[in-house]
A = this chain, B = another copy of it.
Amino acid sequence: MKDITGGVCAPKGFKAGGIWCGIKAGSKKRDLGLIYSEKICTAAAMFTTNKVQAASVLVSREHLSNGKLHAIIANSGNANACTGEQGLAVARRMAELAADEFAIGVKEVAVASTGVIGVPLPIAAIENSIAALANSLRGDEAGHAAALEAIMTTDIRKKEAAIEIDIDGKDGAASAKVRIGAMTKGSGMIHPNMATMLCFITTDAAISREMLEISLQYAVRRSFNRLTVDGDTSTNDTVIIMANGEAGNPLISAADDNQKIFAEALTQVCIKLTKAMARDGEGASKLVTVTVNGASDEKTAEALAKSVASSSLVKTACFGADANWGRVLCALGYAGVDFDPGKTQVRFKSRSGEIEVCRNGASVPFSEQDAKRILSEEEIEILADIGDGSGSGALTGSATVWGCDLTYDYVKINGDYRS
């Protein structure tokens, strides 16, 4: 597996573009994006579990029901959520505009929106700009970058990935190159399951709908669903993957080795984006990775790790580079799963070193100065071993969760988001 450039345009046969159409009234930043494959794609998607679902989610869910897509049209600046019947009509109209432009079926277009909730989306801005949007399509890095910019809201960094893997070739060929490209937006309102995030993934793999769905679920469970920024689950979360089969590999249609290679590669792509989102969490100054080892099973480890990564007190301690491990133990304690605090070990780690701060549920002598240095890095790890307290990990259930610190800037950004 190797990293390549091009984002969603890295896989063969995909184009992308983005323009400013006027939804973001106060700026000239791009606010309308498109991803398009001339060849129809097999598609799979996962959506928010929130009871309140954006109009775009409702429409995309309906359109994805037959597992085929040509295009995704997405806007930022307005979430088209809590907008009632009118919002639904607007979301349908967005898909229709793209479908008419490319002479494809309306159900072959997915729709996504992100931004402020409860304000009608000005569809006229999109109607007036759909031709310009189609004209902006390019099959290269620049096309990807324009589409990515068009889905960003409070995001500061671009979150993107593209990789190439080798899987078995067609008709006895030794191997075929398959590419996966992705972009995502999301920096606040991020919590399992999933995140206030839009994630669009393209691949030129030839893969059946069922195997694409299984692979996506496998990847999302180990990446986006283990990300937490502020505990809020949004109304608009959407992950869509489109596979156009242009790579020339034999169709992946069973849970064989090729499917495993594909799913693992997709997982790595999603983890890369997950870490980028955590690092770019609203106001975040640090990426905080929490790993729990020695649990009875993975689910228990995940619940414990999420509890630590979600704790406002742990997050502020990370911000302050304060080795307040008691808050870690406390957050493990209210995770709602069974474990023995008296056998728990806690360590902090970063590129500046690693330090044990708690053994058997109690303090061990450690240098506050060293701990401060370790926690002052931009990427820090909290490691909790709940096995036998020695760190040897007698039990093997483990899970890693990604989050960020809680800072003044989070409060600043969200205290006045709408203006």
Interface residues in chain A, defined as those with a beta carbon under 8 Å from any beta carbon in chain B: 49-53, 79, 81-84, 86-87, 116-120, 188-189, 191, 230-235, 310-313, 316-317, 319-320, 322, 324-327, 329-335, 338-339, 341-342, 358, 360-363, 406-408, 410-412, 414-419
Q: What's the least CB distance linking A309 to chain B, in Å?
A: 12
Instruction: Give the CA-CA distance A407 to B415 in the complex, in Å.
Output: 8
Instruction: Give the CA-CA distance A377 to B324 in the complex, in Å.
Output: 35
**Contact B117–A232 (Cβ < 8 Å):** no
Instruction: Give the CA-CA distance A51 to B312 in the complex, in Å.
Output: 18
**Contact A232–B334 (Cβ < 8 Å):** yes
**Contact A330–B189 (Cβ < 8 Å):** yes
| Nearest-CB residue, chain B, relative to A334 | B233
Instruction: Give the CA-CA distance A339 to B360 in the complex, in Å.
Output: 44
**Contact B411–A334 (Cβ < 8 Å):** no
Q: Which residues of B contact A338 (CB under 8 A)?
A: 51
Q: A231-B231, A320-B416 are in contact. Are A361 and B408 (CB under 8 A)?
A: no
**Contact A82–B362 (Cβ < 8 Å):** yes
Q: Which residues of B contact A360 (CB under 8 A)?
A: 84
From A52, A79, A326, A330, residue with most partner B Cβ within 10 Å? A330
**Contact A411–B414 (Cβ < 8 Å):** no
- Partner of A320 from the list B79, B342, B415 (CB cut-off 8 Å) is B415
**Contact B414–A326 (Cβ < 8 Å):** no
| Nearest-CB residue, chain B, relative to A342 | B84
Q: A52-B361, A82-B362 are in contact. Are A234 and B411 (CB under 8 A)?
A: no
From A189, A327, A407, residue with most partner B Cβ within 10 Å? A327
Q: A316-B411, A319-B411 are in contact. Are A332 and B52 (CB under 8 A)?
A: yes
**Contact A322–B418 (Cβ < 8 Å):** yes
